[in-house]
Amino acid sequence: MDSMKMKMATVWLGGCSGCHMSFLDLDEFLVELAQKVQFVYSPIIDIKEYPDGVDVVLIEGAVCNEEHLEMARKVRARTRILCAFGDCAVTGNVTAIRNQLGLGNAESVLQRAYVELADDNGPVPKLGVVPRLLERVVPLHEVVPVDYYLPGCPPPAERIKFFLIQILEGRTPALKGDDIKFG
């Protein structure tokens, strides 16, 4: 029976998880959604490897490090419909603030965030433990082709629902008016 369902995934890159929290705000629509799609990958389910043959994916967050870059490329190669989910994925948004802070290159950002600002009571983290940062944080469309953009910080649940219903019905989601707002 599940083989007849659309395969759906959500992915969390450089974001605060607020977009996924908004996804969970779909409340009872999640039950309806679960009857129509098979969730094959998401931070909210325990599947470790992104599978082949995914029909639709919502990707939260900007691309900040090499792990994100590799994941974005893998997801694109294995997915039919890819949606940049939330302002960080669409424009870089909050995650890209480090591009503007004058902190210099990725190495100096890493030094500042993980060494200089480390908790005095905890162990000092070693450089190399976290994935290598990209020199600049970039939105998703700068590294892979994006099919749809779902703006908002986070996108309200009603907007996510509208998008998903259109996709499930085989239509082209066309956001209008307030649904095109950022922030």
Site for ligand SF4 in 101-130 (CB under 6 A): none
Task: Give SS3 for 17.
Answer: coil
Task: Give SS3 for 59.
Answer: strand
Residue from 6, 7, 9, 18 that binds ligand SF4 (CB under 6 A)? 18
Residues whose CB falls within 8 Å of the CB of residue 27, separated by 6 or more in sequence, listed in order: 157
Among 32, 61, 15, which Cα is nearest to 161's? 32
User: Does an H or E element contain 141, and which?
Assistant: none
**Residue 162 C-beta: closest distance to ligand SF4, Å:** 17
**Residue 24 C-beta: closest distance to ligand SF4, Å:** 12
Q: What is the largest CA-CA distance in the chain?
A: 54
60 binds ligand SF4 (CB under 6 A): yes
Q: State how far the Cα of 60 lies from the Cα of 58, in Å rounded to an integer.
A: 7
**Residue 22 C-beta: closest distance to ligand SF4, Å:** 7
Nearer residue to ligand SF4 within complex by CB, 6 or 13: 13
**Residue 108 C-beta: closest distance to ligand SF4, Å:** 23
Q: State how far the Cα of 154 lies from the Cα of 24, in Å rounded to an integer.
A: 12
86 binds ligand SF4 (CB under 6 A): yes
**CA distances (Å), origin 67, targets 6, 25, 111, 116, 148:** 27, 28, 19, 23, 23
Residue from 8, 19, 63, 144 that binds ligand SF4 (CB under 6 A)? 19
Q: Which two tokens stand for residue 23?
A: 């996804």
Nearer residue to ligand SF4 within complex by CB, 43 or 104: 43
Nearer residue to ligand SF4 within complex by CB, 154 or 173: 154
Task: Give SS3 for 151.
Answer: coil
**Residue 79 C-beta: closest distance to ligand SF4, Å:** 19
154 binds ligand SF4 (CB under 6 A): yes
88 binds ligand SF4 (CB under 6 A): yes
List residues near ligand SF4 by CB under 6 A.
15-16, 18-19, 60-61, 86-88, 93-94, 153-154
